Amino acid sequence: MTASSLTAADLDARFAFAQDLAAEAGDLALSYFRRLETLTVRSKGLQDMASEADVEVEQMIRSRIAAAYPSDAFLGEETGRTEFTPGQGIWVVDPIDGTQPFVNGMTAWCVSIAFVEGGRNRFGVVDSPARGERFAGGAGRGATLNSRPIAVRPAVSVREGLLALGYSPRVTPAAFIEPLGRILEAGGMFTRDGSGALSLAYVACGRLLGYAEPHINSWDCLGAMAVIEGAGGRVSDFLGGEGLWSGNPLLAASPELYPELERLYLGR
């Protein structure tokens, strides 16, 4: 972790900008969602889709950030990264997290925007336009859902509600099935709806107890992870190693539940 090169006022201005930008991006994505039959969709790999909506929304976000904060770097799922130097602020964006639900007419998708600076996940915004919800927050600045304060649920056991468990073909089925077995044997239950960012946002507002995934990319999770931290939750050290660029495992829950989730998921 390096010292911040930005003042509190600099970060506050970016946080306000990010919320407005997420709203604009959400509106644009929703306009595509309402005319799915016109979209061109392509496969990027096994169970990994992209549509012209993903690309157009990311390009809009990227251009707005470049105009407002030209000294900041950018990392997006669809258009990649700009030149980055250590200590530089970087925006991490998924224009439509949950493309599979999106292209199939389901509402489990969102726009995710995060800002990382000084080695820290400073804040995030998750906009779910098809469901009319916008989550925002960060460590030290609280968290909100549609401008109202939210908090993680202070559960102490996986028996108290639903966990979200993520999976992608980047890992083996066993990496998902073995932890799932331990959670079910402990009396837990799980859900998965196709968007890691949206599921994490639901942890932040207490709808879900926690989230776990053996490997997830930074653009899929950093926005909502910041909201969880603002909501009083605990998250794993995702930015350790090459997490920003290559992804990492992820755990998130209330501070009370986190040790049990870690034990069950990691088997130790």
Distance (Å, whole) CA 40 – CA 241: 36
Give the CATH number for residue 21: 3.30.540.10
Tell whether 144 and 14 lie within a shared domain: yes
**What mean pLDDT do residues 23-31 have?**
96
Q: Domain boundary at 99, 128, 149, which?
A: 149
pLDDT of residue 112: 98
Give the CATH number for residue 246: 3.40.190.80
Into how many domains does the chain fold? Answer: 2
Tell whether 112 and 170 lie within a shared domain: no
Q: How many residues comprise the chain?
A: 268
Residues 171-195 pLDDT 10s = 999 999 999 999 999 999 999 999 9
Q: Domain boundary at 114, 149, 184, which?
A: 149
Region for residue 56 given its phi and psi (left: phi exceeds 0; alpha: psi -120 to 50; beta: otherwise): alpha
Tell whether 247 and 174 lie within a shared domain: yes
Q: Is residue 222, in this structure, part of any structural domain at all?
A: yes
- 2 band by pLDDT with thresholds 50, 70 and 90: low
Beta strand segments in the chain, E = 41-45, 48-51, 73-76, 80-81, 90-97, 110-117, 120-128, 133-138, 142-145, 148-149, 162-165, 189-191, 210-216, 234-235, 248-253
Model pTM? 0.94
Tell whether 60 and 143 lie within a shared domain: yes
pLDDT of residue 87: 82
DSSP codes, 179-234: HHHHHHHTT-EEE--S-HHHHHHHHHTTSSSEEEEEEE-HHHHHHHHHHHHHTT-E
Residue 162: give the domain boundaries: 158-266
Tell whether 177 and 97 lie within a shared domain: no
**What mean pLDDT do residues 201-207 have?**
98
